[in-house]
Amino acid sequence: MGLPLTLSYEPGRIKGVVNVDLTPESVAQLGAVLGTILGEGTLVVMARDFYPPSRMLKRAFSSGLMSTGVTIMDFHGASLPELAFSIKRFGAKAGIHFTVSVAKEDTILIKLLDSLGTEMTIERTKEIIKLYETKHIVRTIPKRIGWISYAEYIHDIYTAAIIEMLDVDPIVSFEPKVVVDLNFSPASEVVPDLLSEIGVNAITLNSHKPPLRRGVRHLPSTEGLNGLSNIVKTSDAHLGVALCADASRIVLIDDKGAILTPDETIGLMMSFLPEGSKVVISDTVTEAVDSIAEKKRIKLLRVRGVTGDVARQARKVRATLAATDKGEFIYPSFSLSPDGILSLGRVVEHISLREKPLSELRKDIPKLEKYELKVNVGENSFTAILDYLSASFTQVMAVVTGVKIIEGKNWAYVEPDFKERTLKVSVEKPDKEKIELAKKVVEVVEGIISEISKS
């Protein structure tokens, strides 16, 4: 069986079905291609999540890099934030992270970071794909094969750096209680120790490797978030947090069990900032945050594009914070990659400083007029319906707590309501076009439920 002729990609990311698109042979060739571009003698840092396919493919990629004379610093199982942080610290020319895809559990996502720690541009990604397709590889002579070293101490270095970013004394005094779902991620190597060291009373869930022979999801499932919400309420915690498989995204749950959307969390994070700050956000974030920006005299810049584009703009304007409505938060003074772990620390810090529950703090986030429709899902799985819905539209954004369906300049937000067993489809600042989009999404959802019920 030959190598796949082409691979699916987007800026800074290559993805494919394991052992179909991404085989050990094809991924080794990808590694050799990147090594050819970077050049002999350069340093690359690598890490992966705990999903066995990620481990297999990372090893294959490593062999390809070494064959071109590239030296590798391997962190084994480590989060994307740790990897991005290490690029600047160790002077690496690139960072490569393997994680389960947002779309399907049998698909792996290879995230390609440049020497700044941002996801590579579409131009560089296309160059990698072109060389892969043309098999343009320059391998080195045997005595110059690259070295590989293992540096699991990255967890301790990264944890110490996070603590330096936080005001720990108020946290120690307040003694917040936090429930964290680590989603079988390598964040389990960092978060429990981090929270212990800053004085948080923590309950951690899914802080181990994935169950044997069971698939994992990149994002916490909607059912999992509902379960986490119930635990937060019954344990009288101040806060609930869920991370994705590489710890690049975060979901917040307040003390009353309400799940915050990524848009709400952006508003919350902005409310923590000092007046006059600069913030860069993706262009589909709710306009409600504009009111916060105006109130706090924050310079708010919207960027059309992917995560890497948001990060590059944040670096250009020297922003304090950058965020996307996928639940990603970037702190340019620390790293140019999304960091769910530092985001967790920031939220804990600010509820401790204010000595107020999150349910009180989120009341300050402004609301916009909405047009909302509901679809009864019965006993059907919310996660399954949202998966089918995502495959039914051309432009869909998985926003951790639901999905955004985007058509032109308009978008509709779809989120589950576990109490009512409904899917809520809403648009902000409704007009004729937006209302039509909401109705169109409802029709598709009803069709999906009908098909699932028949099977």
Residue 206 token pair: 């899914």
pTM: 0.94
| Statement: residue 2 has pLDDT above 60 | no
Q: What percent of the chain has pLDDT over 90?
A: 83
Position 384 scores a pLDDT of 87
Locate the domains of the chain by residue range. 8-152, 155-364, 370-454
Closest-CA residue to 370 (of 309, 412, 418, 315): 412
392-412: average pLDDT: 90
Note the CATH number of domain 370-454. Answer: 3.30.310.50
- 221-269 pLDDT, tens per residue? 888 899 999 999 999 999 999 999 999 999 999 999 999 999 999 999 9
- 277-325 pLDDT, tens per residue? 999 999 999 999 999 999 999 999 999 889 999 999 999 999 999 999 9
pLDDT band at residue 453 using 50, 70 and 90 as cut-offs: confident
CA 27: distance to chain centroid?
23
Note the CATH number of domain 155-364. Answer: 3.40.120.10
Total residue length of the chain: 455
- 74-102 pLDDT, tens per residue? 999 999 999 999 999 999 999 999 999 88
Position 341 scores a pLDDT of 98
52-78: average pLDDT: 97
| Statement: residue 176 has pLDDT above 70 | yes
- 118-153 pLDDT, tens per residue? 999 999 999 999 999 999 999 999 999 999 999 888
Q: Quote the CA–CA distance of 358 and 355 in Å, as a whole number.
A: 9
The alpha-carbon radius of gyration of the chain (Å, integer) is 22
Which residue would you say has higher pLDDT here, 138 or 363?
138
387-412: average pLDDT: 90
Of the candidate ranges 165-179, 182-196, 374-388, the one whose mean pLDDT is the lowest: 374-388
- Within 10 A of 199 (CB to CB), how many other CB atoms are there? 17
Position 5 scores a pLDDT of 58
What CATH architecture is 8-152?
Answer: 3-Layer(aba) Sandwich (3.40)
Closest-CA residue to 138 (of 76, 77, 69, 222): 69
Position 348 scores a pLDDT of 97
Position 1 scores a pLDDT of 45
pLDDT band at residue 213 using 50, 70 and 90 as cut-offs: low
Domains 8-152 and 370-454 share a fold: no
The residues, ordered by sequence, that sit 6+ positions from 335 with a Cβ below 8 Å of its Cβ are 81, 84, 85, 88, 117, 342
